[in-house]
């Protein structure tokens, strides 16, 4: 039985073949995935891993692609998306001194969990205001803002490894730093548990709205992008370095280094992944040559 037939028989409408990934990532660029699958259960994941081994094809994991740049040639083998699964949120317990434990599936969107917390009167996730993507992706990138990150409130993780299966870990087993962590490599985040505190919903919402407004004033949100392209080098602002290098507004094809915030590279409507990659390289080269500072990508680049 061919791999295509096997996947169609098992997953039905939850598998797509030769699917353009520009339809599934925030940048709206990128070539096709040979096989794009949307697993629903841990059992689906185990089966997908077995099929990958049987047919000797690579496995790639994506969330909602909010921090992902897929090349124009796309991704070979099997691409796994959590876009349609692991989307539950639950209040686990109420601890002493107003602490609560909340569990969210890896496929839950960051805005969805934040809104759930606001309505329940739980504070601690305000740092994620205006940040797109899934909780799984947020853990993988240790996403956050100047107000905090997921590693600050995480207490427990359940990860799925395509070789060894699912396992639960405590926060103390891993290191979480600026846009990096040692917990998730090639695994999937099935769920994460966070320690939050009780607060006043109106106060929490006011702070969330303030942060969202602050982001809107400083960041270009009108065109597809992946947010910040580069990590801030220690002691520097990546955006300011790129601006000082004279690259604000620089275009290649349909891509542009934002003239509002130089650490954002935008798809102005008809960009290719190569246009964006070219601008990334231009910014790296200019900052290195003019200031002796090496820029490191925050956006994840996948594909052949």
The CATH number covering residue 163 comes to 3.30.465.10
Residue 137: half-sphere exposure toward Cβ, Cα within 13 Å: 28
Domain termination residue (choose one: 58, 81, 104): 81
Domain termination residue (choose one: 81, 102, 129): 81
Q: Which of 6, 10, 19, 179 is catalytic?
A: 179
Q: Give dist(CA 250, CA 282) in Å, integer.
A: 9
CATH code where residue 8 lies: 3.30.43.10
CA 14 to chain centre: 21
**Spatial contact of 122 and 132, defined as CB atoms under 8 Å apart:** no
Contacts of 13 (CB under 8 A, 6+ apart): none
DSSP string across 117-185: HHHHTEES-GGGTT--SBHHHHHHHT-EETTEEGGGTEEEEEEEETTTEEEEEEGGGS-EETTEESS-S
Asked if 211 and 125 sit in the same domain, the reply is yes
Q: Give dist(CA 67, CA 64) in Å, integer.
A: 8
Print the domain residue range for 52.
3-81
Cα separations in angstroms, 184 against 61, 106, 149, 297: 11, 12, 15, 18
Asked if 242 and 294 sit in the same domain, the reply is yes
Active site residue 28: no
Tokens of 281: 């390289």
**Spatial contact of 1 and 10, defined as CB atoms under 8 Å apart:** no
CA 135 to chain centre: 8
> Would you say residue 204 lies in a domain?
yes
Contacts 24+ apart (CB under 8 A), 245-251: 245/283, 245/286, 245/287, 245/290, 245/291, 246/286, 247/282, 247/283, 247/286, 250/279, 250/282, 251/279
183-198 residue pLDDT tens: 887 788 999 999 999 9
**Spatial contact of 183 and 193, defined as CB atoms under 8 Å apart:** no
CA 181 to chain centre: 13
Q: Which of 81, 228, 243, 258 is catalytic?
A: 228
Contacts of 199 (CB under 8 A, 6+ apart): 121, 122, 123
Active site residue 158: no
Asked if 144 and 261 sit in the same domain, the reply is no
CATH code where residue 259 lies: 3.90.78.10
Cα separations in angstroms, 238 against 196, 213, 280: 31, 22, 12
Asked if 93 and 156 sit in the same domain, the reply is yes
Rounded to two decimals, the pTM is 0.88
Active site residue 250: no
Asked if 93 and 214 sit in the same domain, the reply is yes
Tens digits of pLDDT across the chain (304 residues): 899 999 999 999 999 999 999 999 999 999 999 999 999 999 999 999 999 999 999 999 887 888 899 999 999 999 999 888 899 999 998 766 789 999 999 999 999 999 999 999 999 999 999 998 899 989 988 888 889 999 999 999 999 999 889 999 999 998 888 888 888 877 889 999 999 999 999 999 999 999 999 988 989 989 999 999 999 999 999 999 999 999 999 999 999 999 999 999 999 989 999 999 999 999 999 999 999 999 999 999 999 8
Q: Give dist(CA 70, CA 33) in Å, integer.
A: 10
Cα separations in angstroms, 189 against 68, 111, 117, 153: 17, 17, 20, 16
216-235 residue pLDDT tens: 898 998 999 999 999 999 99
Q: Give dist(CA 179, CA 232) in Å, integer.
A: 10
Domain count along the chain: 3
């Amino acid at each position: 039985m061919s791999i295509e037939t096997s996947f169609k028989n098992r997953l039905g409408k939850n598998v797509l073949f030769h699917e353009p990934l520009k339809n599934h990532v925030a940048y709206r660029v990128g070539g096709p995935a040979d096989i794009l699958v949307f697993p629903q259960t841990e059992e689906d994941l185990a089966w997908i891993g077995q099929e990958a081994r049987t047919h000797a094809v690579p496995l790639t994991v994506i969330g909602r692609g909010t921090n992902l740049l897929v090349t124009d040639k796309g991704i070979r083998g099997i691409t796994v998306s959590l876009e349609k699964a692991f989307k539950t949120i639950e209040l686990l317990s109420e601890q002493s001194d107003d602490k609560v434990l909340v569990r969210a599936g890896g496929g839950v969107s960051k805005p969805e969990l934040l809104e759930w917390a606001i309505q329940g009167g739980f504070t601690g996730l305000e740092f994620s205001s205006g940040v797109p993507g899934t909780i799984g992706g947020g853990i993988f990138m240790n996403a956050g803002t100047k107000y905090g990150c997921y590693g600050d409130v995480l207490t427990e993780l359940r990860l799925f490894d395509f070789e060894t299966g699912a396992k639960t870990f405590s926060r103390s087993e891993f290191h979480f730093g600026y846009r990096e962590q040692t917990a998730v490599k090639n695994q999937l985040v099935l769920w994460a548990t966070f320690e939050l505190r009780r607060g006043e919903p109106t106060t929490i919402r006011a702070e969330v709205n303030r942060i969202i407004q602050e982001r809107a004033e400083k960041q270009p949100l009108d065109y597809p992008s992946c947010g910040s392209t580069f990590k801030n080098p220690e002691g520097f602002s990546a955006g300011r370095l790129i601006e000082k290098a004279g690259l604000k507004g620089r275009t290649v094809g349909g891509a542009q280094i934002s003239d509002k915030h130089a650490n954002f590279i935008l798809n102005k409507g008809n960009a290719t992944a190569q246009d964006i990659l070219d601008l990334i390289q231009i910014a790296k080269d200019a900052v290195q040559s003019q200031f002796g500072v090496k820029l490191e990508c925050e956006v994840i680049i996948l594909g052949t």
